A and B are shown apart, each in its own frame.
Chain A
Amino acid sequence: MREVVAEFERPVMLYSVGKDSAVMLHLARKAFFPGRPPFPLLHVDTTWKFRDMYAFRDRMAVESGMELLIHRNPEALARRINPFDHGSSLHTDLWKTQGLRQALDMHRFDAAFGGARRDEEKSRAKERIFSFRSAGHRWDPKNQRPELWNLYNTRRAPGETVRVFPISNWTELDVWQYIQLEAIPIPSLYLAAERPVVSRGGTLIMVDDDRMPLAPGETPELRSVRFRTLGCYPLTGAVESQADTLTAVIGEMLLARTSERQGRMIDHDQAASMEKKKQEGYF
Chain B
Amino acid sequence: MADATDLPGVPALGDIDAYLEAHRHKSLLRFITCGSVDDGKSTLIGRLLFDSKMIFEDQLAALASDSRRLGTQGQEIDFALLVDGLAAEREQGITIDVAYRFFTTEKRKFIVADTPGHEQYTRNMVTGASTADLAVLLVDARKGILTQTRRHAFLAGLLGIRHLVLAVNKMDLVDWEQDRFDAIVADFAGFGARIGLSAAMAIPMSGLRGDNVTHPGDAAPWYRGPTLLAHLEEVAIDHSGMAERPFRMPVQWVNRPDPSFRGFSGLISAGAVRPGDTIRALPSGRDAIVTRIVTADGDLPSARAGQSVTLTLDREIDISRGDLLADQSRPAPVADQFEATIVWMADEPLLVSRSYWLKLGTRLVPATVTELRHQINVNTLEHLAAKTLQLNAIAICNVALDQPVPFDPYEENRDTGGFILIDRLSNGTVAAGMIRFALRRSENVRWQSLDVDKAARALMNNQVPRVAWFTGFSGAGKSTIANLVEKRLHSLGRRTYILDGDNIRHGLNKDLGFTAGDRVENIRRVAEVARLMVDAGLIVLVSFISPFRAERRLARERLEPGEFVEVFVDTPLADAEKRDVKGLYAKARSGALRNFTGIDSPYERPEHPEIHVDTTREAPDAAAERIVAWLLADAPAAADGNRSPRYTSETGRDPTASGTDEVEGDAP
Contacts and interface: CB of A to CB of B under 8 A. Distances in A.
Asked if A pairs with B, the answer is yes
Contacts of A2: 252-253, 265-266
B96 interface: yes
Contacts of B52: none
A272 interface: yes
A146 B267 contact: no
B58 A258 contact: yes
Given A122-B85, A251-B16, A255-B4, A33 B127 contact: no
A156 B429 CA distance: 11
B329 interface: no
A88 to B, nearest CB: 17
B362 interface: yes
A99 B260 CA distance: 41
A30 B295 contact: yes
Contacts of A148: 126-127, 130, 418, 420, 429, 432
A201 interface: no
A271 B58 CA distance: 14
A6 B253 contact: yes
A153 interface: yes
Contact of A275 (B85, B261, B418, B419): B85
Interface in B29-84: 56-59, 82-84
A247 B23 CA distance: 14
A171 interface: yes
B103 to A, nearest CB: 9
Contacts of B85: 121-126, 275
Contact of A151 (B58, B256, B418, B427): B418
A89 interface: no
Contacts of A123: 85-86
A153 B346 CA distance: 14
B19 interface: yes
Contacts of A173: 23, 104
Contacts, number: 160
A156 B257 contact: no
B432 A146 contact: yes
A194 B141 CA distance: 58
B19 A275 contact: no
A157 to B, nearest CB: 6
B255 A35 contact: yes
Given A148-B420, A156-B427, A275-B85, A33 B4 contact: no
B10 interface: yes
B520 interface: no
A168 B98 CA distance: 13
A25 to B, nearest CB: 12
B470 interface: no
Contacts of A125: 83, 85, 99-101
B357 interface: yes
B193 interface: no
A218 to B, nearest CB: 25
Nearest to A262: B58
A141 B252 CA distance: 29
Interface in A1-51: 2-3, 5-6, 29-36
Interface of B: 1, 4, 7, 10, 13, 16-17, 19-20, 23-24, 56-59, 82-88, 90, 96-102, 104, 111, 123-124, 126-127, 130-131, 252-253, 255-257, 261, 263, 265-267, 294-297, 308, 310, 321, 345, 357, 359-362, 414-415, 418-420, 422, 427-429, 432
Given A33-B295, A181-B24, 14 more contacts: A2-B266, A3-B362, A6-B362, A32-B253, A118-B102, A125-B101, A141-B97, A146-B126, A150-B267, A171-B104, A177-B20, A251-B13, A254-B10, A272-B87
21 contacts: A33-B294, A35-B255, A35-B261, A36-B257, A119-B101, A122-B82, A122-B84, A141-B88, A141-B97, A146-B127, A146-B345, A148-B432, A151-B361, A151-B418, A153-B427, A247-B20, A250-B20, A256-B56, A272-B86, A275-B85, A275-B87
Closest 10 CB pairs of A and B: A35-B257, A122-B85, A259-B56, A33-B296, A155-B427, A2-B253, A30-B296, A272-B87, A251-B16, A146-B127
